[in-house]
Structure 1
Amino acid sequence: MQPDGSVPGPTRCQPGGIERRVAPPTIPPEVVRPRPEDVTWEQIRSETKNVLFPGLSVKVQPDGRTLVNLDTIVYTEDSKVSTTTVTLLGFPVVVEATPISYTWSFGDGSPALTTSTPGKPYPSKEITHKYMKRGDASLTLTTNYAARFNVADTGWQYVNGTVPITGPATPLLVREAVPVLVDPGR
């Protein structure tokens, strides 16, 4: 600034002299705001895995114990569509999980059984298993979920494949029945 208050213009030196250059003002980088399409399935899965995809437990009839060569009924409860809403990158995300198949592991070395239904309690006998020898078994159920999500009402996006979730183990005592002859006259 000059003594009279004026601002001098750019200064040019004589040829061969030194020129003073003033750096242009720095401009802060532009802030990139997230968009709904920036939300990924991996982010959603991380936020919802403990809430949305329940690990279903095996229900057994007879409860807690069964006999060798007896049809043991298995089923699960609470097998329904689960919906939850989370916020990711500032957007509301509605996530829906639908159970589509069930893989039953009976804990006796036999092959697992996959069904499209959750089974039903007695008297249905929709899903049964016969144990061939006595012992302790630990039954587990893996529920395979189909999932879809909707970010900020932009439309449903379907997740490729299924999301398998294994529930807690259910202990079962397998025993043999012992025949006893009884005098019919008594």
Structure 2
Amino acid sequence: MVSRRALVVEGPEVGAVNGNWALVGARCVDVTDLNPAPTPEEVFRYFQTLPLPQLTTAVQPPGGTVLVGLPTIFYTDAPTEQVFTVDIRGFAVVITAVAQSFTWHTGAGDAVVTSDGPGAPYPDETVTFDYTSGSYSTYLTVTWGGTFTVDGSAPVDVAGTTTTDGPAVQLTAVEAHAVLTNPYD
């Protein structure tokens, strides 16, 4: 194996000024402008890719059979707020996703019921629908909005919303018939 080394003997000395450069002095430079904090629009792009939960629909009466003429109650008891920490270009960004609106697809044609909250079970029900006889597939679409902080800053609104669809729940609406009985039989 042959090793070749060259010794450069011509040129300026180490540390010497070469050309028209002049030493002005040393100073600190603020590099913030070179890497600005993430904007709401940039955070929104990350927000759209977060693994937001698909909220499940709870129905009363339970069991998949509901009664014609009796309001069917919808609600979800799944968490409606999620917190995520992401790294965006070296910044620690904490995104708080909050369910802002709920759209309950009843499965009865285009009929939907919307609410600002997750509904509630009986006796505090806030989301109901009256079915006619038949079979239905219902599910919940949640619109998520949120805020974010960058390296512990004050919260800022994310620049948009995104939606998730929950799993379908199958319902059968039946009619109840009154039957008179003699309590003395």
Q: Do the structures match in fold with TM over 0.5?
A: yes
2:85 aligns to what?
85
2:10 aligns to what?
7
CA RMSD, aligned part only? 2.8
For the pair shown, which has the larger CA radius of gyration, 1 or 2?
1
TM-score by length of 1: 0.71
Q: Distance in 2 between matches of 1:185 and 1:164?
A: 58
1:11-50 matched pairs, under 5 angstroms? 34-37=35-38, 40-48=42-50, 50=51
1:67 aligns to what?
67
- State the AA in 2 paired with 1:7: E
Cα distance, 1:180 vs structure 2: 3.6
Distance 1:180 1:87, change over 3 A: same
User: Aligned with 2:80: secondary structure?
Assistant: coil
2:124 aligns to what?
124
1:113 aligns to what?
113
Q: Distance in 2 between matches of 1:154 and 1:67?
A: 52
Asked whether the 8 Å contact 1:147–1:163 carries over to 2, the reply is no
Asked whether the 8 Å contact 1:74–1:128 carries over to 2, the reply is yes
Report how many residues are paired.
156
Distance 1:6 1:94, change over 3 A: closer
Identity %: 33
1:159 and 2:158 correspond: yes
Distance 1:46 1:108, change over 3 A: closer
User: Aligned with 2:108: secondary structure?
Assistant: coil
Distance 1:87 1:47, change over 3 A: farther
- State the AA in 1 paired with 2:141: T
User: Aligned with 1:149: secondary structure?
Assistant: strand
Q: Distance in 2 between matches of 1:168 and 1:175?
A: 23
Cα distance, 1:185 vs structure 2: 5.3
Question: For 1:146-166, what per-residue CA distance to the aligned partner results, in whole angstroms no more than 9, with x for missing partners?
Answer: 212122234433123432222
